[in-house]
Amino acid sequence: MVKTFIGGIHPPYRKEGLSALPIERMPAPKVVAIPLRQHVGKACLPLVKVGERVLMGQKIGDVEANIAAPVHSSVSGTVLSIEPRPHANGKMVDSIVIENDFLDEWHPSALPKPQLDKLSPEEIVALIREMGIVGMGGGGFPTHAKLKPFPSPPIDTVLLNGAECEPYLTDDHRLMVEAPEKIIYGLRCLMKAAGAGKGHIGVEENKPDAVLALKRVAALYSDITITSVAVKYPQGAELQLIRACLGKEVPPGKLPPHIGVVVNNVHTAEAIAQAFATGMPSIERVITVAGGAVERPGNVLVRVGTTFAQVLEARGLKGEPYKLISGGPMMGMAMYTGEVAVCKCTSGILALTYEETGSREAGPCVRCAKCVDSCPMFLQPTTIAHYAMKGRVDDAEKIGALECRECGPCAYVCPAGIPLVQWIRLAKSDIYARQ
Amino acid sequence: MQLDMRSVIIALAALGGMGLIFGAGLAIAAKKFAVPTDPRYDEVLVALPGANCGGCGYPGCAAYAAAVARGEAGINLCPVGGNDLLVNLAKIMKLEPAAILERQVATPYCDGGAQEAGTRFLYTGILDCVVANAMSGGDKDCQYGCLGYGSCVKMCVFGAISMDENRIPVVNDAKCTACGMCVKGCPKHIFALRPSSMQVHIRCRSHDKGKDVRKKCSVGCIACGLCVRACPVKAITMEDNLAVIDYTLCTNCGLCIEKCPMKTIHGPLSAQSTK
């Protein structure tokens, strides 16, 4: 029996060919716009002034807050301006615009860190914050804040998410194939920082090469297990992956640390390894550029602050895309402009044609309960959506609207094409507004 | 037959007797265990309009009446009742009627509808302003303008708001009770309350620079300042690229309306809902 969770869907994966394309490095653009908010939590304040010369890896933004992570310059050059720019979260966010001098001069602070066995857990957590590491699967939650959470039982397991269940995206897959030793090193850093005795990596079955590569490296460590999990969306969601790999349930309203588990993305682990080995903070990442409107799809290593338009120009476009998405097609956000910059938590750029989006008109609910069967959180999406339509916020809260992770299978399977996630999101925002 | 008549009488007498005894019991209990209520509470509740709109900030008229009777709430919080109510409540509560306010009405301060203001992308989601606003601030080019999906129509329990064919809300002044639900609910904050006698409105909320406003909307305030200079009583000031009218000074003269090159300012003659 393959390990998995209850519910979920099997959308077309559209990763054929993409997952075999090696990671290519994209040259840094002439101008980068680095958003001061690339994480969940408080936005950073700029540490540099307009006209100042900054070096690669230099900390250019930080803020005094636990739920926040500093941002670093991804190029060396001159600060042109600090202005609001469109951001992948759909809002305008203050960004530091830097003109690249193409010297790639490193900041003196970017030095390799001591060996893992010479560092204490506290030092590792502090370094992870200093290096600006955030959840790179798309969430963008500051990683250091996950490691020392509110009073909770001791962490016994660090679980790495290598499921990559979103259609199109193959960046994590390529990283697992090409840099398994970095991912394992990052996992060991996280295990030591959290004081966890066990390390776990969950990978979907459709990536046998990644499982093999990870297993080869993990064979050296008896405390690290690689698990194949079923190919199903949303297998990579935190709670669903915990259920599949560890067979545990997180109680409603609680977070994984409550049962002694911390979940991170494999890309985050890779960034940690990179930061410890070379001293390079989180200033570049692999993104998948794909979709029917892209001429040369692929997995691209880009500097943070490169705009979507620059990336798409480098990969070529076949006509005007119907929809531009930051992230995957299930949970990603549609963008209205290419001026949005790649940030630490951008996992992909999708330029989709009309046919690929499967847009349709919404009709009335036919009470088929397909959404109920597909919901991995065991909710009743149609009922919550109907409460949202009628403004019955309290009723929506009573049947667990806040448990919704907005993963989208309900809207995907709905034969009536009702935008269930959007309605539930409205209910959630109304509930939060009331609190 | 006789027997039947007797059983009817017995049944009636028994039930009637029981009714009398229980009734008397209840009457005694009602007197003996009565909870003393403030008589003013009932009077206030009767005086209130009973719309239960929440405009006063309390959950319904009964809650507001209780707060007034306890002396916790001011008597001038109900926008629906207007002046008559204020006078009534002052009488009931034996207070001096506070400064009598002029009747207020809500007004949408944006006139950039589908014809005048451009869009940046094709929005295919739920036709609700709050949802559309969560999507990169909505599809309108102008980040300050009305999104036109009519959430305010749904919010107005008095049915005073409707959308015109140009997708701009129109307020029926006669129906508006100034409960303020649209003012709070509009995600773009285009509504505000104004004294009902005031007729000159600068219908724009954009703080963009004039050049950008011109690109985005054909009826937006470009902050040229002509109205500021035209106003004989200095009621208009320029605040962060937007002309703002001070209703305490405005005399409804309408000179600014003629001067405005963008036709942003509306008045009684240009009749805001003629379009």
Query: pLDDT by residue (tens digit) across A277-315?
Result: 999 999 999 999 999 999 999 999 999 999 999 999 999
- Residue type for position B257: I
| A132 and A265 fall within a common domain | yes
Q: Domain for residue A362, yes or no?
A: no
- Give contacts of B 102-121 with A, CB under 8 A: 120-121
Q: Enumerate the β-bridge partners of residue B171.
A: B161
For residues A120 and A92, membership in a common domain is answered with no
Tokens read off for B175: 């129906």
Q: Would you state the pLDDT for residue B225? A: 92
C-alpha to C-alpha distance for A219 and A331, rounded to whole angstroms: 34
Task: Tell me: cis bond preceding A234? Omega within 30 of 0 counts.
Answer: yes
**Distance, CA of A226 to CA of A229 (rounded, Å):** 10
CB-CB contact of A435 with A402 (8 Å): no
- What is the dihedral angle through the alpha carbons of A264, A268, A269, A271, rounded to the nearest 10 degrees? -170
Q: How far is A26 from chain B (nearest CA, A)?
A: 28
Is A62:A45 a contact under the CB 8 Å cutoff?
yes
Cβ contact, residue pair B136, A425, below 8 Å: no
B117 phi and psi, to 5 degrees? -110, 135
Q: Rounded to an integer, what distance in angstroms lies between the CA atom of residue A345 and that of residue A93? A: 15
Gap between the Cα atoms of B25 and B29, Å rounded: 6
CB distance A426–B131 less than 8 Å?
yes
Chain A CB within 8 Å of residue B29 CB: no
Three-class secondary structure assignment of A53-110: EECECCEEEECCCCCCCCEECCCCEEEEEEEEEECCCCCEEEEEEEEECCCCCECCCC
With respect to residue A212, please indicate whether it lies within any of the assigned structural domains.
Answer: yes
Q: Looking at the structure, do residues A256 and A286 belong to the same domain, yes or no?
A: no
CA–CA distance, B154 with B165 (Å, rounded to integer): 17
| Min Cα–Cα distance to chain B from A336, Å | 6
- State the average pLDDT over residues A71-84: 96
A425 touches chain B (CB under 8 A): yes
User: Residues A260, A305: one domain?
Assistant: no
To which residue do tokens 């620059």 refer?
A310
Cβ–Cβ gap B136/A86 under 8 Å: yes
* Cβ-based contacts of B135 with chain A (< 8 Å): 90, 334
CA B125 and chain centroid, separation: 27
Same domain, residue pair A233 and A313:
no
Tell me, yes or no, if A334 comes closer than 8 A to chain B by beta carbon.
yes
| Record: contact B136-A91, CB cut-off 8 A | yes
Residue at which a domain ends, from A219, A254, A278: A278
For chain A, the domain total comes to 3
Partners of B121 on chain A (C-beta within 8 Å) are: 334, 336
Q: What is the pLDDT of residue B80?
A: 84
pLDDT digit string (tens) for A173-212? 999 999 999 999 999 999 999 999 999 999 999 999 999 9
Domain presence at residue A4:
no
The predicted-structure confidence for A106-152, as pLDDT tens digits, reads as follows: 999 989 988 888 999 999 999 999 999 999 988 899 999 988 766 67
Determine whether the interchain pair B130/A426 forms a contact, defined as Cβ–Cβ distance below 8 Å: yes
Which residue blocks in A296-380 are alpha helix, DSSP H?
308-315, 354-357, 370-374
Give helix A180-194 / helix A208-218 axis angle, nearest 10°.
60
Gap between the Cα atoms of A264 and A158, Å rounded: 8
Q: Residue A389: inside a domain, yes or no?
A: yes
In this structure, are A134 and A218 located in the same domain?
A: yes
Which residues of chain A neighbour B136 with C-beta distances below 8 Å? 86, 90-91, 335-336
Contacts of B131 in chain A (CB under 8 A): 422, 425-426
Nearest CB to B121; choose among A336, A419, A426: A336
Same-domain check for residues A259 and A287: no
- Please, what is the end-to-end C-alpha distance for chain B in angstroms? 81
Q: For residue A137, give how far its alpha carbon lies from the nearest alpha carbon of chain B (Å).
A: 21
Q: Among residues A278, A299, A332, which one ends one of the domains?
A: A278
Query: A136-171: string of b/e by CB count within 10 Å (b at 16+)?
Result: bbbbbbbbbbbbbeeeeeebbbbbbbbbbbbbbbbb
For residue A209, the SS3 value is helix
Question: Cβ separation of A90 and B125 shorter than 8 Å?
Answer: no
Q: Indicate yes or no: CB of B131 within 8 angstroms of CB of A359.
A: no
A91–B contact, CB cutoff 8 A: yes
Contact B124 A359 (CB under 8 A): yes
Chain B hits for A334, Cβ within 8 Å: 121, 135
Residue A426 to residue B126, Cβ atoms within 8 A: yes
**Does residue A321 surpass a pLDDT of 70?**
yes
Q: Indicate yes or no: CB of A422 within 8 angstroms of CB of B124.
A: no
Residue in chain B closest to A93 (alpha carbons) equals: B136
Q: What is the pLDDT of residue B271?
A: 46
**pLDDT, position A75:** 96
Angle at alpha carbon of residue A335, lines to A332 and A336, rounded to 5° = 160
Residue of A nearest to B155 (CA): A391
Average of per-residue pLDDT across A325-353: 93
pLDDT of residue B275: 35
Nearest to B134 among A337, A359, A429 (CB): A429
Q: Would an 8 Å CB–CB cutoff place A420 in contact with chain B?
A: no
Is A335 in contact with B136 (Cβ distance < 8 A)? yes
When CB atoms are compared, the residue of A90, A391, A423 closest to B135 is A90
In this complex, do B139 and A336 lie within 8 Å of one another by their Cβ atoms?
Answer: yes
Q: What is the dihedral of CA B146, A429, A242, A234, to 10 degrees?
A: -30
Judge residue B2's burial from the number of C-beta atoms within 10 Å of its C-beta, 0-12 exposed, 13-18 middle, 19 or more buried.
exposed
Residues of A in contact with B126 (CB under 8 A): 419, 422-423, 426
Q: Are residues A98 and A122 in the same domain?
A: no
Does residue A199 belong to any structural domain of this protein?
A: yes
pLDDT at position A254 is: 87
Mutate to test the interface with B, among A336, A423, A424 (most CBs of B within 10 A): A336
State mean pLDDT over A374-383: 96
Distance CA A277, CA A179 (A): 13
Could you tell me if A315 and A271 lie in one domain? no
Residues A197 and A241 in one domain: yes
- Asked whether residue A16 is assigned to any structural domain, the reply reads no
A390 touches chain B (CB under 8 A): no
Q: Are A154 and A257 part of one and the same domain?
A: yes
Class of residue B157 by CB neighbours under 10 A (exposed 0-12, middle 13-18, buried 19+): middle
Distance CA B206, CA B116 (A): 14
Instruction: Give the C-alpha separation, A164 to A144, whole Å.
Output: 22
Among candidate residues A220, A254, A278, the one where a domain is terminated: A278
Tell me whether strands A224-229 and A284-290 are parallel, antiparallel or unpaired.
unpaired
Give the chain A residue nearest B121 (alpha carbons). Answer: A336
A8, part of any domain: no
CB of A33 closer than 8 Å to CB of A341: yes
Residue of chain B whose Cα is closest to the Cα of A89? B136
What does the CA dihedral A368, A371, A376, A377 come to, rounded to 10 degrees? -100
Q: Is residue A213 part of a domain?
A: yes
Max CA pair span of chain A: 63
Closest CA to A143 of A160, A119, A168, A166: A160
Tokens at residue A142, please?
Answer: 């500051």
Q: What is the CATH number of the domain that holds A142?
A: 3.40.50.11540
Residue A133 distance to chain B (closest CA, Å): 26
Domain that holds residue A211: 116-278
Return averaged pLDDT per consecutive 10 residues of chain B, 275 residues in all: 80 96 95 86 90 85 90 83 84 74 86 90 88 87 93 91 93 88 92 89 93 92 93 93 92 90 80 41
Option in A86, A90, A423 nearest B126 (CB): A423
Helix (H) / strand (E) containing B258: helix B255-259
As a whole number, the mean pLDDT across chain A is 93
In chain A, residues with a C-beta closer than 8 Å to the C-beta of B134 are 90, 425-426, 429
Residues A261 and A22: beta-carbon distance below 8 Å: no
Rounded to a whole number, what is the distance in Å from the CA of B53 to chain A's nearest CA?
15
Nearest to A419 among B125, B134, B136 (CB): B125
Position B270 scores a pLDDT of: 47
The answer on A250 and A149 residing in a single domain is: yes
